[in-house]
Amino acid sequence: QMRQVFMNLVSNALQAIGKKGSVAVSTTRVERDGREYVKVEISDTGGGIPEEVLPNIFNPFFTTKSTGTGLGLSIAKRIVELHGGEIRVVNNPPVGATFVLYLPLGEEGENSNRSS
């Protein structure tokens, strides 16, 4: 399941940059509210996400693309949450956007004892 999340986010980032630009993935171990997490950031140098789109980006069937179902980010959010994590997106002025995921280390998520 987590593979599906990362494939979707990287695919979206690659579409955002087109033929020029870059996509970066970084991981950091962090502590939040007394718990250990891995923080995953997927950043691109594309055009960013319009501010009016941000509040709806994880809603089912919401899309700004001419193709696709608008389910990818909604499914990604659900999978991350089922694993006890959090996902959000921020713009990186002047270019690009970053999806930030916090995934608990250990056995916090509902499905943490299954391989994903």
pLDDT per position in the chain (116 positions), as tens? Answer: 899 999 999 999 999 998 999 999 999 999 998 999 999 999 999 999 999 999 999 999 888 776 777 788 999 999 999 999 999 999 988 899 999 999 999 864 444 444 44
- The CA-based angle 33-38-43, given to 5 degrees, is 115
The CATH number that domain 2-104 falls under is 3.30.565.10
Rounded to two decimals, what is the model's pTM?
A: 0.85
- What's the pLDDT at 80? 98
- What's the pLDDT at 107? 62
